[in-house]
Amino acid sequence: MSTFRHLPPDKQERVLDAALAEFADQGYHQASLNRMVAQAGIAKGSLYQYFPNKEGIFAYIFRYALKLVRRTLTAVKEETLEENFFVRLEKSLLAGVAFSREHPRIFSLYLKIQFDKNVPFRDEFLAAVRRHAAEYFASLVRRAQSRGELRPGVPRAATLFLLDAVFDRFLQSVAVPALDVTLGLHQATDAAIHKHIRELISLLKEGLMA
């Protein structure tokens, strides 16, 4: 692993892009290391100098993808720090849609992990995603409560569950036609997606706002 980190950045990027594409497009079990190295333009032996095995590559790709998600949401959280809670939710979901469109294979990888119970480290990976989502929403909720933006007595755990469920389901509908049976999000324009986001945030506001 340390060998990989010492590679030139452009070569690291080639390897990561090739591995992400293979796992996202084919799933873990059908992913081919031969296709991976051909796409990256490296020898197969080199790959084993960087990673111990296929599982090691997969785990590294997951952590790499999660780091990109964290970076995006951290930027949104910092940029919206002084805004109202519900504006922050709206901008967070917009950022999630933008990320899923800019990095479709990362979201595809997440869905494959979610729906394939035989993926290595599946429980660990899914728990990491949900934990990060809970931490993100908890920070928004805490600030909103300290600013008096939520009604007193709002149950925090239930609120975090609701926000995570709404956001995750919305992004799945944007990404997967078969899961998009109500709002028509998969091929919607940016304006239409923004309209639906505002509608959902408005419904949340009715239940949570002080």
Topology of domain 59-208 in CATH is Tetracycline Repressor; domain 2 (1.10.357)
Q: Does this chain's domain 1-52 share its CATH topology with 59-208?
A: no
* 204 in Cβ contact with 166 (< 8 Å): yes
User: Is it the case that residue 5 has pLDDT exceeding 90?
Assistant: no
Least confident of 19-23, 42-46, 142-146, 182-186: 42-46
The predicted pLDDT at position 2 comes to 60
Residues 52 and 48: their CA atoms lie apart, in Å, by 6
Judge contact between 106 and 20, C-beta under 8 A. Answer: yes
pTM for the whole structure: 0.91
**Crossing angle for the helix pair 156-175 and 190-208, to the nearest 10 degrees:** 170
Instruction: For the chain, give the number of residues.
Output: 210
Confidence band for 53, pLDDT divided at 50, 70 and 90: very high
Residues 210, 33: Cα–Cα separation, whole Å: 54
Label residue 210 by pLDDT band (50, 70, 90).
low
**Whole-number pLDDT of residue 149:** 96
Instruction: Count CB neighbours of 86 within 10 A.
Output: 19
Stronger pLDDT, 22 or 3, i.e. the higher one: 22
- Confidence bin at 208 (pLDDT 50/70/90): confident
pLDDT higher than 70, residue 47? yes
Enumerate the domain spans of the chain: 1-52, 59-208
Q: Is 111's pLDDT higher than 80?
A: yes
pLDDT of residue 207: 86
8 A C-beta contact, residue 178 and residue 74: no
* Average pLDDT score over residue span 36-62: 94
What integer is the mean pLDDT of 99-106?
95
pLDDT digits over 164-176, tens only? 999 999 999 999 9
The mean pLDDT value for 124-141 works out to 97
1-52 is classed CATH 3.40.50.620: no
CB 89 within 8 A of CB 140: yes
What pLDDT is stored for residue 156 in this prediction? 94
Residue 1 has a pLDDT of 59
For the chain, what percent of residues have pLDDT higher than 90? 93
Q: What is the pLDDT of residues 144-190, one digit of tens each?
A: 999 999 999 999 999 999 999 999 999 999 999 999 999 999 999 99
Q: What is the pLDDT of the chain when averaged over all its residues?
A: 95
